[in-house]
Structure formats: C-alpha cells, structure tokens
Structure 1
Amino acid sequence: MRNELPLAGIRVVDLTVVWAGPGGTTLLGDLGAEVIRPEGNNRTSRQVSAKVTRELIAATGYHGGTYPDKDPGDRPYDRTALFTWHARNKLAVCMNLETPDGREALLDLVRISDVFVENNSNGVLEKLGIAHDRLLEVNPRLIVVRLPPLGMSGSMSNYLGYGPNFNSLVGIAAMDGYEGEEPDSAGENYHMDEATPGGLAFAVLAALWDRENTGRGGLIEFSQAENVMAEIGEFFLDYQFNDRDPGRLGNTDPHLLQDVFRTADDDRWVAISVRDDRDWAALTGVLQRPGLAELGPDASSRRAQSSRIRAKIAAWCRGLRVEEIVDSLQGAGVPAGEVMSEDRLLADPHLAARGWFLERSHPAVGTHRYPGHPWRSDDFELCHGRPLPGFGEDNEYVYLELLKWPRERYDDLVARGLITDRQLA
C-alpha cells in the first residue's frame, strides 16, 4: 500500500454551506487534497449561531442533541454535529469577503489553488466581485465548481430554497409517502443533499484529469436538481412511454417483493427483500406459514399478491426478535437486515469488526467516534486526520505561510477584527 494519496498536492478552496457542497469537499479531503474553508466571522457558515445557548436548544427537540452532552458551550459553531460530520481533514481561515482585504486574500488563495467549490445562491459570487470569470482570470488552471440547485441559466435559475423544495420540483416528493397515503406522510426528503457529494467529487476528479492533458482549468456547472433527476430516470421514462405516474410505495418496490416489518423488540424493524424464485423458496422454507408458498410461485404472482404476502410476513416478524429474524433469513440466503437507529449503528458488531468508526479528539468537542469512509482501496489508506477545524484555527498558516502576507499586515487585520478565531454572528 502506497503512502501518497491520489490528491496529495491539490489545494481546494471550499466556499460551501449546509450539506451538499461540504459533503463533496469532504470526499476530496479523504483522497488527500488540502481543503481550506474561508469563513467570515459575520456569517453563520456552519449553520449555527454563536449566540446559541443550552437554554435555547432545550426547546429544539432532535437538533438540541447534536452537541456533545447537549451543551453548545461558548463556541457552538465548533461543536454542532451539523458541521462536524463533514469537517474532517479540513482547514479553516477567517476571511470576511464583504471587505476589500477579505476579497484580496481570497484571490491570493485562488492563485495558488487548484479547485474552488461553492454552492451559494446564484448571484452571491457576482455581488462579491468574485464570479467564476474573475477567478479564472486570476488563475487559468483553476477548476471552479458551482452547484446551483436549478442551474445557472433558465427561468428557474434564481429560485431560492432548500433540499425538500427542489426535490418537490423534480418529482421526488410526489413519490415519497407511505403506501396508500399522501405524499407528505413520510416526512421531509433531502435527497438532493445526499446525491450531490459523490457527483461533485467525481466531476472534480475528471476535471483534474482533463487539466493534465490540456493545462487549463474551467467551470463546472453542477445543477443539483438535474443530478437528482438522473437518479430517478426510470420514472420519467415510464411516464413518457406508458403515460404512468409513479405510485407512493413507501418501503415496498414495484418489481421486488420488499418491505420493512415490525418485530417483537420495542420499535425495532427489519427490511426483507425477495429478488427471485430462489429467494422466495428460501423465505417460505424459513417461515413455514400455511398457504404462503402458493401465493407467489413466480414474480408476477408475487407482484399481484404483494399485500397478502407481506401481511403474512409481518405476522411472522411480530412474534420474533430482530436477531432471530435476521439470522434465520440471512442463513438461508434471503436479503434481510435490521433498520438501524443511530444508537444501534454505534453498537453494530459488523461495523465494529470493519473498524468503520474512528476515534478522534479535538479541544472543542472532546474525544468521540466519527463515521468512517464510504469506500476503501487496496492501494492507499484514505485520510482521516483532525475531525474538524475550529473557527479560524488555521489563520496563521494560511495568511503567513501560504499567502506570505507580512506579519505587520496580518496583525493589523487581527487588531481591526477582520481576522479572528471567533464567529460573531
């Protein structure tokens, strides 16, 4: 296994927010890129206000538990899981881009970088005077990635919103309800945020490869909504060819026999799938339910009798504990697994055996287990170093070592409050 990571020596300027953009730059950091986040101390680039208190989060339900010991401390922007899950390996530098000094610093950083990624609303960079044409003028070898939800042109390009809004526009929300219920019955869906990171990382890798051949960078316009539409393409084709809208299937499937079933354990569920006749024979052999085998001898029968079959499976599952169900079905070769909650995942023996959770420490949050990488390679070990950058933690490294600004100028900006290690907003 070689020591050098594939993106060693590549520098990424990360001007992203929320999930989609930061998730993609995390994958680039995993591959060895130096990812630097410029953050203004007058903004909440980490989704959390500096003014959050323990009393305020007590009334916020689930999100109140996303701080260690449910305590935001005096630096909540360093402690929230909303940020730390995608912060590994990254560096943080304070740059207020609404000031001339901040914009100059960003352009200096762009001159010595390879990739620039942003997922702000259309027009934000233009208002700041750092649109992609300006960045490419400063550094023609730069790869600029912009992640507008609905593209940079067209009648919807200036729409503002959040993941669930745009999922509605591309049709996902219409399919998202439980079987036989209304579309909003299954809660919010953030698939656009989940689908973007992998596509973003792949696009950057492809652009870097192209740059090796051409010597030029350029603009990648990555429309997040269009990326999601590609992932549900079969439903668009079904409508075009068959004039058929997708139904709301919940945890079932239009082709396979599949569902999620309650067990005898309190609020613990299992997912079971039958892919083919072999799976069906194995399932009926384990369940031994009267009349079950006759209901689905072939795929068309299982589709026609899906509700009745699933009712019999549900009755069997309700009488058994999770481990009994999973062990017996997996032993027979039937795809089955527990639907894991967060605490169950932390205790999962399979993930423990693979060493997926990695223990890391940081002064802002203490020592905890962090999620590992989504894939592995035989050729190199993916990077998983510092779990997060404290706000402004890398100010001196960026300004003094990388940008080579004089100490006197750096100290002046510190004295004026333009470079700091604390978020104010």
Structure 2
Amino acid sequence: MKKFDPSQTGPLSDVRVLDMSRLVAGNMLSAYLADFGADVIKIEREGRGDDLRNWREAGWDIYWKVYGRNKRSLVLDLKSGDGMDAFKKLVRHSHVLIENFVPGGLEKIGLSPDLLLELNPALVIVRVSGWGQTGPYSHKPGFGTLVEAMSGFAHLNGYPDRPPVLPPLALADMIAGVYGAAGVLTALRVAEKEGRGQVIDLSLFEPIFSVISSEAAKYKVTGEATMRAGNQSTHTAPRNIYACSDSKFVAMSGSMQSMAMKIFDTIGRPELKSDPKFATNDARVINRDELDQLIGAYIGARTQQENLDIFEAAGVTVGPVCSVADLMGHPFVTGREAIVELEDRDLGSLPMHNIVPRLSQTPGGFRRPAPKLGEHTQAILDELKTLGS
C-alpha cells in the first residue's frame, strides 16, 4: 500500500489552480494537474461541496476519493464581501482558474473573464460547458449524456439491430478533461513566455467528436453515415470479441494485412489467404460475418487460456476480455503498477489508477488524499495573509 507524502513535489509544483467546477470534466482536468504537483484548490460551497461527492457506492464517496486526490478544499461564500475579497486575492496569486457554469454564469456572480484578467493578466481561465461559450446552443445546459448522444458516438455504439448505446461511464467528460489539461499546459507556456493569460473555451461536444471525426470525412466521400457494427469494425477485419468454450471471451484484431494472414495460418486455414473473399482487407470487411464464423468456430472449441496460449505463441494480436475483478492482481496490472493501493482514512486503503502518463525525470506523486469538505479552509486563509496585495 502506498502512503501519501505531503513533501513530494512535481513539475507543476509552482502552479496554483483554482477549481470552481463540479462533477467530472473539471475534476478530471484538475486531477491531472494535481497529480503532477499543482496546488489545486477546490472552491466549494458550505454544506454541499462538489456534486461529485454525492456519487456514492456502498455509502462511500468513491468517485470523489479517486478524482479529488492531491487537492485541497476551501469553502468560500462568494456572495459575501469577505468571501469575494479572499477569492479575488487568490486569483491574483494563481495561475489557472477552472469553472463550468452555464455560459454567462461566471459573469452573473461578478467574475467575468475581463475582470479576472484585470486582476491577473497572466491567468489561464478554463470555461467548461456542454456546448461551448459561443453558438446557438451556448445557453443550454449540457451534461455528457446529451453530448455522447448528439456527437454521433451513441449512434456508432452497439449493434445494428438494437438501439444506440451510451457509454457506461462519463466518457465525454473524461475526454474533455484530458484535452483541457493539454490546453492549460499550452496556455501556461504562453503565459510563461509572454506574460499573457487567456480563456480556454472547452466544450464537452468537440473533444468526443474529435475521436470520431473521421466519420465526417467518410460521410463526405460515401454519402452514408456509418451504422453500428457491434464489436466488428467497418474498416478492418477480422476484429471482434469471440466466445471461448469456458464462457469467457477473447478479443482479436487483424488490422494489418500480415496479421490477418497469420490468423489464417494459426486457425489451420491457410487457403483463406488466397480466397478472393478474404485475401484483402476490403474483401474481408465485406465478408466479415462469414469470416467471424470461421474464426469463432476455432476459438469456441477452446478455453480462453488455450486460445491465448495458441495465438500469442503465433504472434497474433489477441487478449482476454477482463472485468475489473479480473484486473485486480492480474500480472500485467501488477507488473506495470497500473493500479495502486492508496491509504484511505475511511476504508484503510483504496485501489485507483496510477499517475498517467509516466515521466522518466519528473514523475507525479501522491501528496494528499481527497479532502473532506472545507478541510483546508483555515490553512488557505492563513496563507492568504502572508501574500501581497
């Protein structure tokens, strides 16, 4: 079990981040920065705090414990003069501010970007919203669910004879958070070189659309929107999840020509390499259902481990379908330390993802557990007294 070490530093240890956001995208963004040493101060409301605290499992605020790590919690009443004065002083001595009000919300509480940049000309302001700060939908609230539906993702996800499927996690928010972190680091570089801050307009829609953007180009060329294909691919074959004889599954991809040929040899069907229906990728995509039956029959006669042993020995790209239960203690996961067991003051310890990505010279670290609501209020207010005007 790893213990939190408040003395740890990171490459962003001189960066102070004020996170006014709630729920997922902003917390994902600030979690990335916090993992690499940034002093992330969560600005929270008395008695309620970040809504992510209310996403509970078995009575525990699991989501907050994971994405609130390495942060500090400051309860401020921005409707009071003292609270607003303290906040503005923090702005003057910070580098990044993250918010996810409905567009215009920041202005309504008297904190327009113009005012914030007047207080701190080098400030990087991240404005997270469902649909962006401009455009005909800018006034609408936008949760990730709506974006995942409208972006085209849900239409592509699932099987052709069934309704579209939403992801079982906050995918749009998570992707936006990672994009947001990249945007912040870019903007901080500009502020470092030129002393200029700026506003980052981060919608949830555009990041998730970017990962399926080739669909727009494909539509331009073909005039058709791609239909759901289940676990198959519409541009390469074979690619699917196949059932094994022990009710487990393996995933396989033959996205390179040489790999597809290797698969045919491994299943004992070398004649398929010259069969016009399977000799080229274009032909395999057209005949992918028949191809999957051939491969599925071979895999279905063997257990998952037998299939893994056979295909891995042949150099075929194959892997098991795992649940989280399968991953706990999995040799790959433990060997990479992809999951770390961190001390937890409520549960003793709690597994969660390790620092991503891994930097060889300036890695991130674990400095503090996710804070209780307002845990650092007094300490931060005391720190403010030591700062200049």
Common topology (TM > 0.5): yes
1:208 aligns with 188
- How many angstroms does 1:47 deviate by? 3.0
Q: Residues 226 and 353 of structure 1: is their aligned pair in 2 closer, same or farther, counting only changes over 3 Å?
A: same
> In the alignment, residue 13 of structure 1 is paired with which amino acid?
L
| Equivalent residue in structure 1 for 2:211, among 231, 238, 244 | 231
The alignment partner of 2:320 has SS state of strand
Which segment drifts farther, 314-323 or 184-193? 184-193
The alignment partner of 1:359 has SS state of strand
2:368 aligns with 386
> In the alignment, residue 245 of structure 2 is paired with which amino acid?
A
Unmatched 5+ residue regions in structure 2?
A: 1-7
Distance (Å, rounded) in 2 between the aligned partners of 1:387 and 1:299: 50
Which segment drifts farther, 385-394 or 12-21? 385-394
Question: What whole-Å deviation, never above 9, does each CA across 1:272-331 have from its counterpart, x for those lacking one?
Answer: 100223212221222225975545222122112100111222233333222222232222
Q: Are residue 121 (structure 1) and residue 102 (structure 2) matched?
A: yes
| Equivalent residue in structure 2 for 1:39, among 21, 44, 50 | 44
> In the alignment, residue 5 of structure 1 is paired with which amino acid?
G
Distance (Å, rounded) in 1 between the aligned partners of 2:23 and 2:313: 41
Q: Are residue 340 (structure 1) and residue 348 (structure 2) matched?
A: no
> In the alignment, residue 27 of structure 2 is paired with which amino acid?
P
2:24 aligns with 19
> In the alignment, residue 171 of structure 2 is paired with which amino acid?
H
Unmatched 5+ residue regions in structure 1?
A: 50-62, 73-78, 406-425
- How many angstroms does 1:261 deviate by? 1.8
> In the alignment, residue 195 of structure 1 is paired with which amino acid?
I
The alignment partner of 2:177 has SS state of helix
Distance (Å, rounded) in 1 between the aligned partners of 2:385 and 2:133: 31
- How many angstroms does 1:145 deviate by? 0.7
Q: Residues 357 and 173 of structure 1: is their aligned pair in 2 closer, same or farther, counting only changes over 3 Å?
A: closer
Distance (Å, rounded) in 1 between the aligned partners of 2:167 and 2:375: 37
| Equivalent residue in structure 1 for 2:34, among 20, 23, 29 | 29
> In the alignment, residue 151 of structure 2 is paired with which amino acid?
V
Q: Residues 120 and 342 of structure 1: is their aligned pair in 2 closer, same or farther, counting only changes over 3 Å?
A: farther
> In the alignment, residue 382 of structure 2 is paired with which amino acid?
L
Aligned residue pairs: how many? 377
- How many angstroms does 1:135 deviate by? 1.6
2:245 aligns with 264
1:413 aligns with none
- How many angstroms does 1:82 deviate by? 2.0
1:142 aligns with 123
Distance (Å, rounded) in 2 between the aligned partners of 1:188 and 1:368: 22
Using the size of structure 2 for normalisation, the TM-score is 0.89
Q: Is the 8 A contact 2:131 2:142 kept in 1?
A: no
- How many angstroms does 1:36 deviate by? 0.9
1:108 aligns with 89
- How many angstroms does 1:403 deviate by? 4.5
1:376 aligns with 358
Using the size of structure 1 for normalisation, the TM-score is 0.82
| Equivalent residue in structure 1 for 2:292, among 310, 321, 332 | 310
Distance (Å, rounded) in 2 between the aligned partners of 1:128 and 1:82: 28
Question: What whole-Å deviation, never above 9, does each CA across 1:342-397 have from its counterpart, x for those lacking one?
Answer: 11111211010112222221323421222112321221222223231122221222
